[in-house]
Structure 1
Amino acid sequence: MDARTWVIDAANVIGARPDGWWRDRPGAAARLHARILRLLAASDWPAASAGQDEPPARVVLVLEGAARAGVEPGTASSPAPWREGTPDGPGSPDRKADHPPAAPLAVVHAAGAGDDTIVAEAGNAERPVLVFTSDRALRHRLVEAGAHVRGAGALWTLLDET
């Protein structure tokens, strides 16, 4: 299934790895944001092995609580990926013409409960939607809303491939 939109439960994904994130929630959010941008800009799309043959058209990262201080809300895009053999290398003025830009990454700050914001973002997104979370109660709500769900570990696997 090639999802057009990914929605990422940042708190759940960050919390899936015991790397000291609890000491610096804003820093953990900033690191996750940077890793997602790097994944989206990868020249060789690694998610094909996970059933996602093409990058999504849009990615939404939902931040809540103290993590909101780590990344401003809004949309960022990675540069178009550079592939070996592109004329003049990564700085080529033709780079964007040769390769489409990476999917935009929208950062949404949850005003209240992050789960409610994630369900709302998934419900308003272009289908099919894939949400990364391991929260069982949230998974149930998302499936009822028509979204596909994969655990936080699935996203970490993709991030670790880039």
Structure 2
Amino acid sequence: MVVPSDPPSLTPEFLAPDSRDPDVPLVVVDGANVVGSVPDGWWRDRAGAAERLRDRLAAVPAAGLPDVPAPVEVVLVVEGRARDIARAPGGVRVERASGSGDDKIVDLVRVSAATRRTIVVTADRGLRARVTALGAEVRGPSSVPR
């Protein structure tokens, strides 16, 4: 299977903050959990639901979250049938989990939380415990456009 790898747009609205900048918070979105928090029939088209979430998150890098001022870097973690979504302009990086999305999120937090503010968006209690133990903050699904 070929994973889409559309080149990012070079338009100014796509240019996300430098992910190595410790002053720019990292927001990691648990795609499956956030999509699952809205009972809108997402289970019939998991990839389509993940794409809609990705597109709604496009405003977050420039707008921030309610208690996290912009700019922020946004990473959407997708798994399972949603893994094949394409990248899109808007500053949201898509990370495809080859196995568990939770494990991929923990790996991202393990790397980032030591050097920059890291916020994970999920309602999953087990994942919340794992990432807070590594120094991340947690917000619920309603903290992002869904």
Using structure 1 for the length normalisation, give the TM-score.
0.68
Show the counterpart of 2:110: 123
Residue pair 1:8, 1:61 contacting (<8 A) in 2 also: yes
Matched residue type, 1:148: E
- 1:9-158 → structure 2 map (5 Å cutoff): 9-41=30-62, 45=63, 47=65, 50-56=66-72, 58-69=73-84, 71-72=85-86, 77-78=89-90, 104-125=91-112, 126-155=115-144
- Superposed CA offset, 1:65-90 (max 9, x none): 01112x23x6x542xxxxxxxxxxxx
Could you list the structure 1 runs, at least 4 aligned residues long, displaced by more than 2 angstroms after superposition: 38-41
Aligned-pair distance for 1:46? 6.5
- CA shift at 1:3, angstroms? 6.3
Contact kept in structure 1, 2:60 and 2:74, CA below 8 Å: no
**Over aligned residues, Cα RMSD in angstroms?**
2.0
Larger Rg: 1
Identical pairs, percent:
43
CA displacement at 1:39 relative to structure 2: 3.6
Contact 2:61 2:74 in 1 (8 A): no
Whose helix fraction is larger, Structure 1's or Structure 2's?
Answer: 1
Give the residue type in structure 1 aligned to 2:123.
Answer: S
